[in-house]
Structure 1
Amino acid sequence: MLSKRSPIIGFVGTGVMGKSMAMHLLRAGYSIVVYNRTKEKALELLEEGALWATSPKEVAKQAHVVFTIVGYPKDVEETYFGEQGIIENGNPGSYVIDMTTSTPTLAKKIYEEAKGKGIYALDAPVSGGDIGAKEARLSIMVGGDESVYNEILPLFKLLGTNIVYQGQAGAGQHTKMCNQIAIATNMIGVCEAIIYAEKAGLDPEKVLESISSGAAGSWSLSNLAPRMLAENFEPGFYIKHFIKDMNIALQEAEAMQLDTPGLSLAKDMYERLANNGEENSGTHALYKYWKM
């Protein structure tokens, strides 16, 4: 079992969040082998002692545990399946944990294919953005076998503070959809509140002092509204990836015959922003919707 050895950890995807996550594992003393399509994004990890792999295949061949956090479901497919994929090249008895926000259907497919190869799989999407990743304070939502979750829990604790086992394969991804639905309409409210404060001639920073700790309080209000006021729209989480998540949530909701008008509105607003050149900005750039 994993707890009886010091595993070599593979990490595929060293972008805005993945780099910080891999760094926490590296600094905890684990041997880390990393792969990213753009090697430059992994240079800081390599300088700290991580090893470089030329493909997901090479990561899978070397590692006992492989974490992945890539962009889109199609990227997850390419990373896990085929002759160059993690499952085809992983070692029996190894663990694969996809932390990308992806589809519950794909999470179940990875679980079943991995199981057929004697590999243990979890879907474990995260919330908390770049700040949560840097501070190892992510929320981690986990689907898969509970016994496997318990094996990986010590590693999860190096990445996050709110780690919850949600159920069987796909449950982590379904939970992340709940998270994204809540964020989507909350972000509209945060932006409208700031715009309202400005139009009313108030000092928005003082307004935040009053409302952030009251009934209106939220993570987005406390952490992202100050970035809006500073006109810092660097991504903690890309708009283009949020649109991807909202599309997944809408598809899943439709399959359950669930109407989600707030989510639909948010997606339309974000798509207008993306079409206006903001797809690589952070989600809090929704503030710019009122400035267009």
Structure 2
Amino acid sequence: MSSIAFIGLGIMGSPMAVHLVRAGHSVAGYNRSPAKAKALAEAGGRVAASIADAVTGAEVVALMVPDSPDVRDVLTGDDGVFAHAAPGTLIIDFSSIRPDVTRELAEEAGRRGLRYLDAPVSGGEAGARNAALSIMVGGDGDAFEAAEPIFDAVGKTVVHVGPSGAGQTVKAANQLIVAANIEALAEAVVFLRAYGVDLEAALEVLGGGLAGSAVLAQKQANMLNHSFEPGFRIALHHKDMGIVTSAAREAGVVLPLGALVAQLVAAANANGDGGLDHSALLRGVERLSGTS
């Protein structure tokens, strides 16, 4: 069992940290909003007063924060992880950030004698709560093997996909596919409603055929009930689509559908839906159709 510092106890990080405690690990968690550490404390984890407090003495440091600047601040700040982690410490970044930033931070970690894995996840809040996340891991193979007990406590599908940055690249592809699927489902829902079809029955039969997907299974209830309590916020998906389009441009790759979906996600965010679940892309289709 490991001594783990877990930085970032939001919608995803909190249940992940709790699963690590329940798996027998010693977990010290830190979040800028202390109230979000309540679940960890109730599970038997320790609430740290600062990043330095959490990291000092930890064998593993896990991060789950929103964006590239947040990861950089947590790691490289004056009171950050790099300043307080002992040589040999394994850093696992579960956040979804730019692949180039990941490679830069991994190189800096290596110069400091630290091991570094980028391990973004897919599965949303439900996957985090059920310890059923899909985890795509980039970094050194030996570090991946050392981290397997951590991954096993929070994930169901865990794959080492390549060197540093590869995990983030695969996650960017994941977010492209998910956004396109949600947008297609939203458009189908508006189309079906326009013809007065029994929507619940229609989605049931669509889910049993080639149109079926994890997105349809997990997001249809949100769209049926017009309830968009965030499992994964549109604002974060907007950030991720920016990563996809930027990385594609750098690679000289053309993503016509990706570019369109990125604009639709951006429009949803600009119209005030950023705090809603990404299934609220339905609201954007309704606005365009004059049915909102």
TM-score range, shorter chain: over 0.9
- Contact kept in structure 2, 1:83 and 1:89, CA below 8 Å: no
Q: CA deviation at 1:55?
A: 2.2
Corresponding residue of 2:290: none
Q: CA deviation at 1:195?
A: 1.2
Greater mean alpha carbon deviation, residues 58-67 or residues 115-124: 58-67
Correspondence list, 1:187-206, <5 A: 187-206=182-201
Q: CA RMSD in A?
A: 1.1
Corresponding residue of 1:3: none
TM-score normalised by structure 2 residue count: 0.96
Corresponding residue of 2:94: 99
- Percent identity, aligned pairs only? 37
- Contact kept in structure 1, 2:190 and 2:286, CA below 8 Å: no
**2:130 corresponds to which of 132, 135, 139:** 135
Q: CA deviation at 1:188?
A: 1.2
Correspondence list, 1:1-292, <5 A: 6-292=1-287
Q: CA deviation at 1:58?
A: 2.1
Aligned to 2:77, the other structure's residue is in SS state: coil
> How far apart, CA to CA, are the structure 2 residues paired with 1:84 and 1:234?
34
- Contact kept in structure 2, 1:126 and 1:139, CA below 8 Å: yes
Task: Report the residue type matching 1:201 in the other structure.
Answer: G
TM-score normalised by structure 1 residue count: 0.96
The alignment covers a number of residue pairs equal to 287
Greater mean alpha carbon deviation, residues 128-137 or residues 183-192: 183-192
- Structure 1 residues 128-175: Cα deviation after superposition (integer angstroms, max 9, x where no partner): 001111111100000000111011112101111111000110010011
> How far apart, CA to CA, are the structure 1 residues paired with 2:222 and 2:118?
31
- Structure 1 residues 58-85: Cα deviation after superposition (integer angstroms, max 9, x where no partner): 2221311111010111101100103211
- Contact kept in structure 2, 1:140 and 1:164, CA below 8 Å: yes
- Contact kept in structure 1, 2:122 and 2:133, CA below 8 Å: yes
Structure 1: unaligned runs, 5 residues or longer: 1-5
> How far apart, CA to CA, are the structure 2 residues paired with 1:273 and 1:119?
40
Q: CA deviation at 1:25?
A: 0.5
Aligned to 1:19, the other structure's residue is in SS state: helix
Task: Report the residue type matching 2:170 in the other structure.
Answer: T
> How far apart, CA to CA, are the structure 2 residues paired with 1:170 and 1:55?
28
- Contact kept in structure 2, 1:20 and 1:133, CA below 8 Å: yes
